[in-house]
């Protein structure tokens, strides 16, 4: 065992009492300034402290008073705030975490959720859509064009339809390769229209109803000395339904989809139909032409001049 004996620790009540002495000295700045900073001795200050405590009914041993005076001189039991710095800032943030921690955690959780949602769901979805759109444009639309071409090739009865379809497919695939989606879709729509036109079946006949005139004549604006004669006609399918067809108006040059139109005919044909109607009010020979399955154009029974109007 060492011959050096450790000094026993002071009892807690004595430490507390010494701290109280120091606190009294700090609060009695007039006493400290007059006694410590003056020429008065330590004994005089101790005596004064003893008197102060005695007035409070407290007997403080001299050694406790002496410890308090020494502690004040050595700045014991005093708190010196730490100097500003990065570590001090971190420590203060940590101590005040109860105040700011929850809002920050909520904000971080929300940011994490948004990041996961965007990078894990939205961005992959958008990339998937863009990929699907590219695949559809470069593979899907051309495949649909080829399928329509095969259908037209098999169903047509005229070479003209095959030539038109081949030209459309070539142009449509060029659009797809260029990334021109609108152009490729327009070609697909035109191929679909060509197929549907081939499949149509109808009869073009003169309208013979009491509420609708069967024919009329006009003076063309470009030549007022001439007279154009028109039969009012409609297209009727095998089930008796009146169809709407795209008709180019020869006066305006515009194509309009209509259910009845004026078909220009020679004067002799116009006169014959008018006479037929005057006979008994019914046009017996009312069939102007017929559109058959597999053909693009109407095969006319009556002589026609090719022009048509949609308004009169």
pLDDT at 39: 42
Task: Measure the CA–CA gap between 65 and 303, rounded to whole angstroms.
Answer: 138
Phi, psi of 42 (to 5 degrees): -60, -35
pLDDT at 193: 95
pLDDT at 228: 95
Taking only the tens place, the pLDDT of each residue in 172-203 is: 999 999 989 999 999 999 999 999 999 999 99
Low-confidence ranges of the chain (pLDDT < 70): 1-42, 44-45, 68-82, 128-131
Instruction: Using the CB atoms, write b or e for 41-70: b if 16+ within 10 Å.
Output: eeeebbeebbebbeeeeeebeeebbbbbbe
pLDDT at 202: 98
pLDDT at 4: 44
pLDDT at 32: 53
Task: Measure the CA–CA gap between 69 and 56, rounded to whole angstroms.
Answer: 19
pLDDT at 15: 58
Q: Is the pTM of this model over 0.85?
A: no
């Amino acid at each position: 065992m060492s011959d050096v004996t450790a000094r026993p620790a002071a009892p807690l009540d004595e430490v507390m009492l010494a701290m109280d002495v120091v606190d009294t000295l700090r609060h009695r700045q007039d006493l400290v300034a007059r006694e410590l900073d003056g020429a008065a001795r330590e004994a005089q200050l101790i005596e004064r402290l003893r008197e102060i405590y005695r007035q409070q009914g407290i007997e403080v041993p001299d050694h406790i008073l002496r410890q308090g005076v020494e502690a004040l001189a050595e700045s014991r039991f005093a708190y010196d705030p730490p100097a500003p710095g990065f570590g001090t800032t971190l420590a203060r943030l940590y101590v005040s975490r109860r105040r700011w921690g929850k809002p920050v955690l909520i904000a971080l959780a929300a940011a994490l959720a948004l990041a996961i949602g965007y990078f894990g769901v939205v961005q992959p979805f958008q990339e998937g859509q863009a990929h699907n759109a590219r695949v559809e444009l470069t593979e899907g639309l051309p495949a649909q064009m080829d399928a329509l071409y095969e259908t037209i090739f098999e169903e047509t009865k005229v070479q003209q339809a095959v030539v038109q379809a081949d030209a459309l497919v070539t142009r449509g695939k060029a659009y797809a390769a260029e990334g021109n989606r609108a152009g490729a879709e327009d070609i697909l729509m035109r191929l679909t229209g060509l197929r549907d036109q081939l499949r149509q079946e109808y009869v073009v006949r003169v309208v013979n109803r009491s509420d609708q005139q069967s024919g009329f004549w006009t003076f063309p604006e470009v030549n007022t000395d001439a007279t154009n004669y028109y039969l009012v006609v409609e297209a009727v399918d095998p089930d008796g339904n009146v169809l709407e067809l795209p008709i180019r108006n020869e006066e305006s040059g515009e194509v309009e989809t209509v259910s009845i139109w004026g078909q220009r005919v020679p004067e002799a044909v116009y006169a014959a139909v008018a006479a037929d109607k005057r006979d008994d009010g019914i046009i017996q020979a009312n069939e102007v032409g017929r559109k058959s399955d597999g053909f693009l154009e109407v095969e006319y029974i009556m002589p026609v001049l090719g022009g048509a109007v949609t308004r009169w």
